[in-house]
Chains A and B, each alone.
Chain A
């Protein structure tokens, strides 16, 4: 414990450096703005900023990108509450009761509770990250290729179980992503696969063009041509103060949402989206007056907002401790670290303590910055929403092209982005969740390499996975979850999604 405290103090000495503080502040502001704008979620924002971080030192780069990530989580709630437009998917549930409160003239308390809930959840999440990541990393030092294979397979099975929509469609998208990950040079044999003699594809398909295409471009293709958003309410500072009754009602949902969100954030998939749906479902079930939900219940804002922020922090645990992303955002952030020659994995915390602890400390600072920034300045931020969408979307498109080109100074990445954008548009029209594609793309090469290394170790014996206790535990756990995911398909029974209202809403 004392060691953790000393390490955290060392982290604060890094985080309080003026340059780091400045970039954390910029990240939070950019993130808040990005989260508020429909068409630019946290992923697109991070992907577009990625090239700009190449010239920065790795600590500043990750602090800036993390600021954008949780800033976007905060920002997404503002448009949900004031305009019923979720800036990003995790804020969909906030729209329901948040906008109902706005219609009742209670936008201020809704915004305040969303910000307070996000702050509490973000802070508790960082404490969880601080305590869990080093322990998990020490444990993961025992991992060899068979354990990694089992871990990655378990991650994919968990993804199927926790998918927001159709399990089969989620699996199909994950496999499609894994197949995309097969493009490029096979490190074990030297064969260049599926590159069609295009030199740039020899290095494989990058996560940034895929992410920007699937999430940024497809969103613009779906929303272009829409009418300009309605007029925005601007609550005054006095109106933002919640009543005692609001606070009393919100304490439980905020605490439950924080714990739940953090735990869901650790597992792969669209964690921050799922956590907000699950939190809303739980709060509705626990409420003595469930009929208030949908009609302006403050618990319906407090729970989901806390959950999606805690999930955003929880996602950093496997990213920093194991070097394994649980979603597209953490995949892009891993790419940002690797650009600087840092190898993510269990050794990261030991070899780069200033990066890990500086990052953790900067998240404490970032949460305070966001609370201070979001409450008094909400009126200023909503002015952004007055920019007509007709001006915004061409500029966002130009930024997408610029961002993808800058990653490797190649138009190939822009072409990949456009192909992914078109594919993403069609897939979303057909009800497919796109996050597993990005996740599969990153996990694919890792899974293939660890599988083949395991077989090389065992002389081709698959029993190696059954002889190693950690590997067999993870495989059994994964298979149990896969079985549970398949159960509703085989027996036509209801699964957990219907109990939290995810079936009707996730689309």
Chain B
């Protein structure tokens, strides 16, 4: 199981990870406060729909400030290693493409194409495996989940 800060290197000086985290938490709090303007906050005695979100955003901002201030001894950003970042990005892009395709071309075709991409292009597995695993997985999972368990799954314009 990969853990946090795994494989990181200790580097002195520069921005620390907790300082960045704190600033991001403050930014999230400010964004929430900005969008919360649309909702009546009400009063302490009679809170409106904007009251609790505002309270939570202020709390988040406060905690973010403390994380940033107390983060001087945390892991240096320069020492944080991201060896898996490229692969992670590719995975995310493939998942986004599959989500776009899911209701357009149907579950079986989307899943098969998704697995062909990973096994054939990314992992460069044997061509036979690249054909059999995606076909087997997409049809078998559709049969079990869609047909046997009667969970409606998207079907493409070709009825497939």
Contact = CB atoms under 8 A, between A and B. Distances in A.
Contact of A193 (B1, B39, B47, B94): B39
B125 A460 contact: no
9 contacts: A186-B39, A189-B40, A221-B84, A398-B98, A402-B141, A411-B99, A418-B96, A460-B46, A461-B45
Interface residues of B, number: 73
A166 B63 CA distance: 12
A390 B119 contact: yes
Interface string B82-103: 1110011001101110110011
A172 B67 contact: yes
Contacts of B82: 429
A106 B108 CA distance: 46
A210 to B, nearest CB: 16
B32 interface: yes
B128 interface: no
Given A188-B49, A418-B96, A399 B141 contact: yes
A439 to B, nearest CB: 14
Given A194-B35, A507-B6, 19 more contacts: A168-B63, A171-B63, A182-B53, A221-B92, A223-B1, A225-B83, A395-B133, A397-B114, A399-B141, A402-B141, A406-B152, A409-B152, A428-B2, A429-B4, A430-B17, A431-B74, A455-B46, A462-B44, A489-B70
Interface in A128-181: 165-166, 168-169, 171-172, 175-176, 178-179
Interface stretch (A48-56, A246-254, A319-327, A377-385): A48-56
B1 A452 contact: no
Contacts of A394: 114-115, 118-119, 123
A42 to B, nearest CB: 13
Nearest to A449: B52
Given A175-B60, A418-B96, A429-B5, A405 B102 contact: yes
A320 to B, nearest CB: 26
Contacts of A117: none
A160 B17 CA distance: 21
A418 B1 contact: no
A499 to B, nearest CB: 21
Interface string A428-454: 111110000000000000011001100
B99 A401 contact: yes
A401 B96 CA distance: 10
A451 B115 contact: no
Interface stretch (A14-22, A81-89, A277-285, A348-356): A81-89
Interface of B: 1-6, 17-18, 20-21, 25, 28, 32, 35-36, 39-40, 43-50, 52-53, 56-57, 59-60, 63-64, 66-67, 70, 74-75, 80, 82-84, 87-88, 91-92, 94-96, 98-99, 102-103, 107, 111, 114-115, 118-119, 123, 125, 129, 133, 137-138, 141, 145, 149-154
Contacts of B36: 193
List the 5 closest pairs (A to B, CB-CB), nearest first. Answer: A460-B45, A222-B2, A394-B118, A221-B88, A431-B4
Given A194-B35, A430-B20, A406 B151 contact: yes
Nearest to B57: A179
Contact of B107 (A397, A402, A462): A402
Contacts of A182: 52-53, 56
A507 B3 CA distance: 5
B49 A191 contact: yes
A422 interface: yes
A425 B103 CA distance: 27
A368 B156 CA distance: 45
- Give the one of A54, A165, A220 with max B CB within 10 A: A220
B91 A397 contact: yes
A223 B2 contact: yes
B53 A168 contact: no
B43 to A, nearest CB: 7
A222 B84 contact: yes
Q: What secondary structure prevails in chain A residues at the interface with B?
A: helix
Interface string A414-434: 110010011001001111100
Contacts of B44: 460, 462
Contacts of B59: 175
A224 interface: yes
Contacts of B154: 405
A172 B35 contact: no
Interface in A277-301: none
B149 A52 contact: yes
Given A390-B123, A391-B125, A430-B20, A176 B60 contact: yes
Contacts of A261: none
Contacts of B102: 401, 405, 411, 414
A224 B91 contact: yes
A219 B60 contact: no
Contact of B92 (A179, A222, A422): A422
Nearest to B45: A460
A38 interface: yes
Contact of B75 (A223, A405, A431): A431
Given A172-B67, A411-B103, A225 B87 contact: yes
B14 to A, nearest CB: 15
A402 B53 CA distance: 32
Contacts of A414: 99, 102
A329 interface: no
Contacts of B115: 394-395, 398
A92 B6 CA distance: 14
A460 B42 CA distance: 11
B145 A406 contact: yes
A460 B107 CA distance: 52
Nearest to B83: A225
B1 A421 contact: no
A391 B152 CA distance: 26
A221 B101 CA distance: 21
B88 A425 contact: yes
A397 B95 contact: yes
